[in-house]
Structure 1
Amino acid sequence: MSLRPLTKFGYLGRTYKFFNGETLYPFGYGLNYTRFKYSMVSSSHALQLKFGRLQHCRDLTYEDGTARPPRPTVVVDDITCGKELDFEVDIQVQNVGNVDGADIVIIYSKPLVGIKETHIKQVFGFQRVFLKAGENKTLKFTFIACKSLMVVDKTVYKVLPSMENMIVIGDEELFLPVQINIASCQN
């Protein structure tokens, strides 16, 4: 059985990354005796990547009917993931309920809509936090873009696309755009 959906056979896919059917509870949903509110401390991010003139790029394939311009995409295995690809996300978590409790803050990346046969979203970070009623705390997440924002294209290469990625916190309560701009590639 494939992880990706096969619509012509009525197969909806498997795992939270690819399942496109209706769910009773989303991935990461947990019962709790209190409520938590998230707010973004970070603003949007932009990563400028410049490679040598011999760096090869690829174009992504999009779903039929999705008009998208070609975007340079680099194979992750062909680049060195160094400090220039790091970015930070700061999230403030507040216990807005009347009871002390713990929450697991899950961070997902969502690629641009329409990329053929890639994931819907993928987890790339999480932290557990315990807060007393009314207390808040700021959590800091540090990520490497080529590992956190990569997509697996239809040819099963892990690629880092030049596009706006969306960072999603929790059950799509907060969104943070991260723009990746790739320059100096050969197609």
Structure 2
Amino acid sequence: MVDSAQLRRHQRQYFCEMGVLMTSFEEVAGTGAAAACTALTMQAMWRHFSNLEEAIITHVNSSKETPSKDLQRSQASVSLQKPNQSRKAKKDSLQQLDLSMVRQVWRPLRGLPEDSVAVLRAWLFEHFLHPYPSDDEKRLLASKTGLTRSQISNWFINARVRLWKPMIEEMYREEFSEESNPSS
């Protein structure tokens, strides 16, 4: 029978191995690339471990209270079907396992990785007169940056409004202000 302490050891080992996997993935794909892939996995596994721990604790507590094996089995099966761990108990177990820092580190990042944005920005300035890539160029940029084609499309749509259009407007203003104010 697996006890609660042994389950916590397995849980720590799982999260440590997941951290190693994320680190090796980020070495290849870039910083922050693994966060999006592993965030939901980490959350689901955390829930599974919490539910399993609750079922074990319930089973152990029920075996101390009642000597009947049939009653123990029925209570354990009910607790496996409907885990009902309070928020305080989850928070206590999280602090006990020292995983609150781990969950913050593995939270998905908002925005795109900086190195990917640098590649996209460089492409934008190299192709200043035609700032939107073709499908082939999107595929090439996707392979260079590790982003999806839709992420690249969205970035260029936003970049035209935020970067390219203001620069063009400023250039026109400067050009027309020079024409309207001839040098004396």
TM-score range, shorter chain: under 0.3
TM-score, scaled relative to structure 2: 0.23
TM-score, scaled relative to structure 1: 0.23
Structure with bigger strand share is 1
Q: Which has the higher contact order (CA 8 A, sep 6+)?
A: 1
Structure with bigger helix share is 2
